[in-house]
């Protein structure tokens, strides 16, 4: 299957496009651009296309976010089907999220001006964009709440459960990256991961974590 066909399939299944008919997905495909990127590449780095909607079609990207003090905080990893919406129009300031490919990836990029053009014919596009941003808001808020209120072990379990649920049970990331995502040291993450493995909740590999029992992880997160 070609990347474009794959993107079309992902768009038809996207929650934020439900109820808008196939013509909107087609418009996004028509006005968007398929981008191939090698591992380690920065997405969204060229010219005015820094913002708009980005859909991960194949591969995986890490999501980084700027924090005070010039810190770049790794806060998540996204696989095929995940879309990100961002724009410079509202509120100004620099780009919110930076994407970095952790492996060879294919993205569908629909820049701001393309969105404007689509909206000229399909005003409902903004409703879909609002839905997309709202989904991201939900995720970000949950993450913030977890980071503020959950103790380390529960926090780790919760994030593993979320990532396994949204991106499949096989998580391809090393423990250093995972540690950054939950705000802990690698040592601590390793310690708890070994415990989870002992309990049969997951299997550890080299640069990989296979989640085997999401319900069990959720139970820990809620404890």
Partner DNA sequence: CGAAGTTTGTCACCAAGGTTACAATTCAGA
Partner DNA sequence: TCTGAATTGTAACCTTGGTGACAAACTTCG
Positions in the binding site for a second copy (CB under 8 A): 15-16, 65-71, 73, 75, 85-87, 89-91, 93, 96-97, 119, 123-124, 126-127, 129-131, 133-138, 140-150, 154, 158, 180-183, 218, 221-223
Q: Nearer Cβ to DNA, position 66 or 204?
A: 204
Residue among 12, 98, 6 nearest 57 (CA)? 6
The C-alpha atoms of residue 177 and residue 185 are separated, in whole angstroms, by: 10
Q: Is residue 117 near DNA by the rule CB under 7 A? A: no
Q: Is residue 207 near DNA by the rule CB under 7 A? A: yes
* Interacting partner of 91 out of a second copy, DNA, none (Cβ under 5 to 8 A depending on kind): a second copy
* Interacting partner of 75 out of a second copy, DNA, none (Cβ under 5 to 8 A depending on kind): a second copy
Q: Which two tokens stand for residue 44?
A: 């969204």
Q: Nearer Cβ to a second copy, position 154 or 197?
A: 154
**Cα radius of gyration rounded to whole Å, the chain:** 18
Q: Nearer Cβ to DNA, position 6 or 186?
A: 186
Dihedral angle at the C-alpha atoms of 61, 136, 98, 13, nearest 10 degrees?
40
DSSP 6-63: HHHHHHHH-GGGTTSHHHHHHHHHHHSEEEEE-TTPBSS-SGGGGSEEEEEEES-EEE
Helices and strands, counts by H and E, the chain: 8, 10
* Interacting partner of 47 out of a second copy, DNA, none (Cβ under 5 to 8 A depending on kind): none
Q: Is residue 186 near DNA by the rule CB under 7 A? A: yes
Least spacing, CB of residue 38 vs a second copy, in Å: 27
Q: Nearer Cβ to DNA, position 9 or 210?
A: 210
Q: Nearer Cβ to a second copy, position 4 or 95?
A: 95
Q: Residue 37 in contact with residue 104, Cβ under 8 Å?
A: yes
Q: Which two tokens stand for residue 70?
A: 């010039």
Residues in 75-94 that interact with DNA by CB under 7 A: none
* Interacting partner of 37 out of DNA, a second copy, none (Cβ under 5 to 8 A depending on kind): none
Angle of the 186-198 helix axis to the 152-167 helix axis, nearest 10: 70
Q: Is residue 203 near DNA by the rule CB under 7 A? A: no
Residues binding DNA (CB under 7 A): 151-153, 174-176, 183-188, 190-191, 193-194, 204-208
């Amino acid at each position: 299957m070609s990347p474009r066909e794959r993107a079309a399939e992902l768009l038809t299944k996207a929650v934020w496009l439900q109820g808008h008919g196939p013509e909107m997905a087609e418009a996004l495909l028509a006005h968007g651009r398929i981008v191939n990127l090698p591992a380690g590449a920065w997405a969204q780095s060229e010219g005015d296309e820094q913002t708009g909607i980005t859909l991960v079609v194949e591969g995986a990207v890490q999501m980084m976010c700027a924090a005070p003090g010039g810190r770049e905080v790794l806060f998540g990893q996204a696989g095929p089907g995940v879309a990100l919406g961002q724009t410079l129009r509202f509120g100004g300031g620099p780009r919110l999220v930076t994407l970095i490919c952790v492996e060879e990836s294919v993205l569908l990029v629909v820049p701001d001006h393309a969105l404007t053009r689509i909206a000229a014919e399909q005003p409902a596009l903004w409703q879909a964009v609002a839905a997309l941003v709202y989904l991201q808001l939900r995720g970000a808020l949950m993450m913030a709440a977890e980071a503020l209120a959950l103790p380390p072990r529960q926090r780790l379990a919760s994030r593993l459960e979320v990532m396994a649920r949204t991106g499949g049970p096989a998580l391809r990331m090393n423990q250093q990256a995972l540690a950054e995502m939950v705000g802990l040291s690698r040592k601590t993450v390793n310690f708890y991961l070994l415990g989870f493995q002992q309990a049969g909740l997951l299997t550890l590999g080299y640069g990989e974590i296979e989640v085997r029992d999401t319900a069990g992880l959720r139970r820990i997160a809620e404890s």
